[in-house]
Amino acid sequence: MNPKPKILVTEALGPQGLAYLQQYADVDAHYLLDPALLPELMDSYDAVIIRSAHRLTRELLTGHPRLRVVARAGAGVDNVDLTAATELGLAVINAPGANAIAAAEHTFGLLLSVLRNIQKGDRHVREGGWDRQAFLGRELYSKSIGIIGLGRVGREVSRIAKGFGMSVIAYDPYISDDIFRTHGVIRVQTLEELLPQSEVLTIHTPKTGPRLGYQQLATLPQGAVVINAARGGLIDEDALNLLLEQNHLYGVGMDVFSKEPPPSEFKLFNHPNVVLTPHLGGSTHEALAEVGVMTARGVIEALNGNTPPNVVNVPIPPLENAEFQALDKAAGVVGLIFSRAVTPAPGSLILTLSGQIPSSASLWLRQRVLAAVLSERVDDRVNTVNALLKAEAQGLHLLIEEKFNANQPAQMGLRWEGDPDSTTEVWLTNHLPHLKKVRGIPLDLPWPDQALMTWHHDAPGVVGKVGTLVGEHGINIANLHLGRRVQGQDALMVLTLDAEVPAALKQELEDIADIRQVFVFP
């Protein structure tokens, strides 16, 4: 039995996330580990989980053979060197969208505080005042809100805005028209089109999102409100201050800053219609619990050799979890069988994706299949994260043929270019992989957890000899499947077994005269 993996948690993760980890791993958890102590601990763990107080640099990530997974319990991964992690084959996990509702609600908390003078009114009452006219506010109803970034948080913002009776427009060049239609959001193609229409402007992009300076912000309508609860530095803070002084903007709400905490000379401190909070967007009990659980699940999945949907350094498509897991397993099966059962050849590999496979899954499936193939060819770590880099080092190229058809089951085929007889093919039936072809020979079986495959001469007595030897080793045969092209020539046999195949049995099978090769799975 393999020992449990060891996981280091450097900052508070929440009881739900820790409880999940502790079901599957030995966990050393800290409320806040001194960053100076982290380097000496990296060698001792299979996974390390951080939040915001630590940085995982190239220097820190390098030279730890045991380490396989690093995670940031939060939406961004700004404090993880993704390039280094990818080169080292480290899966990087985060928790995108886990705090989407919290961040969207905080956006409106800032917005309402600005428009309705909530903070100023609170101070006024505490000081004994009751001047209602001095704090006359503005309504959200019927106003237009412009959203930059229609990801998870942006979509939640649009949902809440519609509840206030606002008209919603958005700019996001990376999101499909279907998403805009589904959420009832008006799409614009440029920021130049969005800004003049936005009585309220809010941004919800990663740190790579557009930077808004004075020239862009000055095109907002007179009396607009600007909210930034996404990433510090996306909106020029000096430009906001200048536009407030010019009475072009009505107010500003900020939860994030280019420097955190902002320095004492921060200009926006001096403006009365600015509401500032200390990076609270994702800080709710519910969001922290969800972040912890989502991070924990991703880490355990990655440690188990699977591809979790929240791995950052793999091009994961937007799929429902059941479809994602089914395609992930099928890609692993087709790559593994091909790598073991098909003789290596010069030239490129051809991956055929057909049937009900979304086109958005192609790049990910390419890496997933390559990782399975290369795991049999290289000695050092190879996985979906670094498969392209390892393939390039091996001089191995994989090309994709796409034949998508929503009326057919999902199908994956892998072959050497110019050699149809090398084809291995797997179909998905009810989200389970079915082996349809190996070395070009037709088969039809649900792929099992334990299997024995023989490549043999189609001669009388071979099947019986194999069955006898398997039985002598005390292993039960659950199913047997045969395939051949022409009687008396090459044939394949796949046995579904109830136990692992010992090395001695494999050797005895290889000693049978008509058997050319024996393959054991997993």
**Residue matched to tokens 């102590």:** 37
Quick one: tokens of 166? Answer: 């606002």
3 state SS of 251:
strand
- The single residue of 139, 245, 260, 376 carrying the catalytic annotation is 260
HEC profile for 399-417? EEEEEECCCCCCEEEEEEC
3 state SS of 291:
helix
3 state SS of 160:
helix
**Residue matched to tokens 């020992």:** 3
Q: Active site includes 231?
A: yes
What is the DSSP code string of 401-460? EEEE-TTS--EEEEEETTEEEEEEEEEEETTEEEEEEETTEEEEEEPPSSEEEEEEE--T
Whether 89 contacts 305, CB under 8 Å: no
* Phi and psi angles of residue 329, each rounded to the nearest 5 degrees, phi first: -65, -45
Is the C-alpha dihedral spanning 447, 452, 457, 460 positive or negative? negative
* Exposure letters 47-69 (e unless 16+ CB within 10 A, then b): bbbbbeebebeeebbeebeebbb
Whether 243 contacts 60, CB under 8 Å: no
Q: What gap in Å lies between CA 463 and CA 71, rounded to an integer?
A: 49
Write out the E strands in 19-68: 26-29, 47-50
Whether 272 contacts 251, CB under 8 Å: no
Q: Active site includes 260?
A: yes
Whether 146 contacts 202, CB under 8 Å: yes
Q: Euclidean distance between the first and final Cα of the chain, in Å? A: 16
Q: Active site includes 271?
A: no
3 state SS of 511:
coil
Amino acid at the residue 82: L
- The single residue of 64, 231, 366, 434 carrying the catalytic annotation is 231
HEC profile for 117-158? CHHHHHHHHHCCCCCCHHHCCCCCCCCEEEEECCCHHHHHHH
Q: What gap in Å lies between CA 225 and CA 327, rounded to an integer?
A: 45
- The single residue of 124, 279, 340, 381 carrying the catalytic annotation is 279
Q: What gap in Å lies between CA 156 and CA 394, rounded to an integer?
A: 45
For residue 245, what are the CA distances in angstroms to 225, 239, 270, 271, 272?
A: 14, 10, 10, 8, 11
Q: What gap in Å lies between CA 303 and CA 292, rounded to an integer?
A: 16
Residues labelled catalytic: 231, 260, 279
